[in-house]
Amino acid sequence: MQYPAHGANPATLYEKLGLAMPAQVIDLSENVNHFGYPQSFADIWPTLLEKIQYYPHEDAEPLRSKLAFLHKVKTEHIVIGNGAAELLMALSKLYANDKVAILHPSFSEYTRTLQQQNVQIISIIVDDIASYTLPMGEIKEAMRKARAIYFCNPNNPTGVVIQKEQLIEIISFGEQVNCDVIVDEAFMDWTDESHSVINLVETYGHIFVMRSMTKMFSMAGVRLGYCLSQQAATLKSNLPHWNVSGVAIELGLQALEEGVFCEKSRKYAQEMRERITQFLLDNGCIVTQSETNYIAFCLPKYLDATDFYLSLLKEGIVLRHTQNFIGMDGQWFRLALKDEWKMEQFKGKFLNYANNNLSR
């Protein structure tokens, strides 16, 4: 059975699995903001038509300078990409034919982009998926052999935040053993930001911090992300000219004005996360200690994960499978936190399945 590498695109999922797609599908596999884009995006949309006839600024100005001011880093230490995925592709070229360590489970694009550059990957699996406990000894041992190490914080797919103190220890050790540290903070804006390591960029020259504007602002169709690093110029050299569209630049600038929207989104995610987590715990599941707009859960042992996943698909509920997440092996599911009626639909289908399979 061939599972797609990512969430979203339900039609592709049903096609690959050879299943008939129901008339109504609730996609809980993609984790962009359930509120959609801010209203201000619609308000300025007509003015963006003027931008499409002109080439965008090669360095995505003035967005780059605004982000530098926001994060208190030098402008030359930021590079903006056509989504964080493009930056990950460019980053992988820095480690071609070398060794890189990845902490798993984690975002599958790290492995995919690095393998394209003939990188030998050293896989490290966390001690406890629910709490995403770091095996610090194993991490440091791998760093002695690797040119770089990748972390996702908050983690995708678990939503768990790695404590800043641990990352500082890892970054300091990386400086000693000449190992770059990549911290993908694509979902950090769903938290209070206290565990972000952006403020270390001006101190350490061997770190890369990735950020995405796709998730919070529902810009998956536009693509916008950025990287903060003293090696930003080297990363930029691996990108094409005019890689960020004028429309994306303008929307990015507007997004920086959306503090109230972000706070509203975080508040809703926290409330729904607590409710769904309690529901799953009450029904025998193991649930990750997420701080984002998604959680991951593992079914009670009497339920079969594959049968559960396929059964919910037939009922029109699409979860994110974990077949391609090392350490989760299809036994866990990532669940995006969406509108209340969608979450109620999920709960109802979950209970129906569980009640019909009590005898297993």
106 and 159 fall within a common domain: yes
Instruction: Report yes or no on 2 lying in a domain.
Output: no
Instruction: Report yes or no on 46 lying in a domain.
Output: no
146 and 282 fall within a common domain: no
Q: What pLDDT, on a 0 to 100 scale, did the predictor assign at position 1?
A: 60
Q: What pLDDT, on a 0 to 100 scale, did the predictor assign at position 10?
A: 86
Backbone angles phi, psi at 294, to 5 degrees: -155, 160
360 has pLDDT over 80: no
pTM above 0.85, yes or no: yes
pLDDT tens digit string along 213-223?
999 999 999 99
Backbone angles phi, psi at 100, to 5 degrees: -135, 140
Residue 140: pLDDT band with limits 50, 70, 90: very high
Q: What pLDDT, on a 0 to 100 scale, did the predictor assign at position 2?
A: 64
Instruction: Report yes or no on 39 lying in a domain.
Output: no
Instruction: Report yes or no on 210 lying in a domain.
Output: yes
200 and 75 fall within a common domain: yes
15 and 131 fall within a common domain: no
Q: How far apart are CA 135 and CA 245, in angstroms?
A: 41
Domain boundary among 224, 255, 286: 255
| Burial (0-12, 13-18, 19+ Cβ within 10 Å), 23 | exposed
pLDDT tens digit string along 339-355?
999 999 999 999 999 99
| Burial (0-12, 13-18, 19+ Cβ within 10 Å), 353 | middle
128 and 178 fall within a common domain: yes
Which structural domain, as residue segments, surrounds residue 226? 55-255
Q: What pLDDT, on a 0 to 100 scale, did the predictor assign at position 358?
A: 77
Domain boundary among 228, 255, 282: 255
Q: What pLDDT, on a 0 to 100 scale, did the predictor assign at position 77?
A: 98
Domain CATH number, residue 159: 3.40.640.10
232 and 317 fall within a common domain: no
191 and 323 fall within a common domain: no
318 and 241 fall within a common domain: no
The sign of the CA dihedral 53, 58, 60, 65 is negative
Q: What angle do CA 332, 217, 345 make, to 5 degrees?
A: 45
What average pLDDT does the segment 45-70 reach? 94
| Residues pairing with 103 in the sheet | 124
pLDDT tens digit string along 314-330?
999 999 999 889 999 89
Instruction: Report yes or no on 105 lying in a domain.
Output: yes
87 and 213 fall within a common domain: yes
Domain boundary among 204, 221, 255: 255
Q: How far apart are CA 187 and CA 198, in angstroms?
A: 14
204 and 133 fall within a common domain: yes
67 and 164 fall within a common domain: yes
Contacts of 68 (CB under 8 A, 6+ apart): 74, 75, 77, 78
Cα–Cα distance list, 333 to 60, 273, 345 (Å): 37, 15, 16
Instruction: Report yes or no on 50 lying in a domain.
Output: no
8 has pLDDT over 70: no
84 and 170 fall within a common domain: yes
Number of domains comprising the chain: 2
Instruction: Report yes or no on 339 lying in a domain.
Output: yes
Q: How far apart are CA 225 and CA 188, in angstroms?
A: 13
Looking up tokens 């092996």 gives 329
Instruction: Report yes or no on 36 lying in a domain.
Output: no
H-state helical runs in the chain: 10-17, 39-48, 63-71, 84-92, 108-115, 136-145, 164-177, 232-236, 246-255, 259-282, 305-314, 340-356
Asked if the bond preceding 10 is cis, omega within 30° of 0, the reply is no
